[in-house]
Chain A
Amino acid sequence: GQQLNQSPQSMFIQEGEDVSMNCTSSSIFNTWLWYKQDPGEGPVLLIALYKAGELTSNGRLTAQFGITRKDSFLNISASIPSDVGIYFCAGQLSSNFGNEKLTFGTGTRLTIIP
C-alpha cells in the first residue's frame, strides 16, 4: 500500500529559527494536508493543498505541493514555543475531500530548546 515518509523524524531547534520538513510518497496524491498534534490532543489541520505546484501560507507556515505530486514541504518561520508538537502530512488520492480516507505520514516531532 501507499506509504508516506516524513523527514526529519525529529527536530531540536532554538526559538526564532526557521523549520523545514518534508513528506515523500511512493505514489501520487492529488491532495496534500498538513496537521499538527499537541500532546493529549487530536491532530488539527494547518494547511490543505489541492494542486501540483501550489504554494499556500497560513501565518508563519508555508506549504508546497510538489510538482511530481509525490511530495510536499512545510516550512515554519521564526519558530515560537507553541510550535512544539508533532507535525503529520497526509495524502489523499481524491482532489475533493469527502469520501476517501487519508494516508498519514510518519510524523516530525518538533522540540524547541530553551
Chain B
Amino acid sequence: SAVISQKPSRDICQRGTSLTIQCQVDSQVTMMFWYRQQPGQSLTLIATANQGSEATYESGFVIDKFPISRPNLTFSTLTVSNMSPEDSSIYLCSVEDYGELFFGSGTQLSVL
C-alpha cells in the first residue's frame, strides 16, 4: 500500500497570505487527488493532479485560488492562496494505488 507523507500537519495563517502543502508518496503513482474537509463535514474533491499536465479542478474550485503542481510521479503541492477564514479546513492528499484510494494524514489549516 502507498505511504503518503503530507506537510505541514497543521498551520495557523493570517488572512491574505498563502500556504503551500506538500504531498510525498513512497511509490510512483499516476493519479493524485486533493480533498478539502471543512470542520465537521465530509470530503470534497478539489482537483485531480496528473504528472505532466495541468490539474483538473472540480466545480467551485479554481486554479488561481488553489494552484497545484505535479512535477513527478511521487510528489505534488497544493497552494491555498489569498486565504480567508472560510479556507479553514483539513486539506488531504490522496493517491490511487492498485485500485484503492490512500490518504495522507492531512493538513489542518486555521486562518485568522
Contacts and interface: CB of A to CB of B under 8 A. Distances in A.
Interface in B92-112: 92, 94, 96, 99-106, 108
A104 B42 contact: yes
A42 B106 contact: yes
A40 B101 contact: no
Given A40-B106, A42-B92, A42-B105, A97 B45 contact: no
Interface in B27-86: 31, 33, 41-45, 48, 58-59
B interface secondary structure, majority = strand
Contacts of A42: 4, 92, 94, 102-106
Interface string A77-114: 00000000000100000001111011011110000000
Contact of A45 (B58, B100, B105, B108): B100
A44 interface: yes
In this complex, the member of B33, B44, B59, B106 whose beta carbon has the largest number of chain A beta carbons within 10 angstroms is B106
Task: Identify the interface centre among B4, B94, B103, B108: most chain A CB within 10 Å of its CB.
Answer: B103
Nearest to B108: A40
Contacts of B43: 43, 88, 104
A43 B42 contact: no
Chain A interface size range: 20 to 34
Contact of B99 (A44, A88, A97, A106): A97
A97 B94 contact: no
A101 B58 contact: yes
Nearest to A42: B103
Contact of A97 (B33, B92, B96): B96
B105 A99 contact: no
A94 to B, nearest CB: 11
Interface of B: 4, 9, 31, 33, 41-45, 48, 58-59, 92, 94, 96, 99-106, 108
11 contacts: A33-B101, A41-B105, A42-B94, A42-B104, A43-B92, A44-B103, A97-B99, A98-B31, A101-B48, A106-B42, A107-B42
Closest 6 CB pairs of A and B: A42-B103, A104-B43, A104-B42, A97-B99, A101-B45, A41-B105
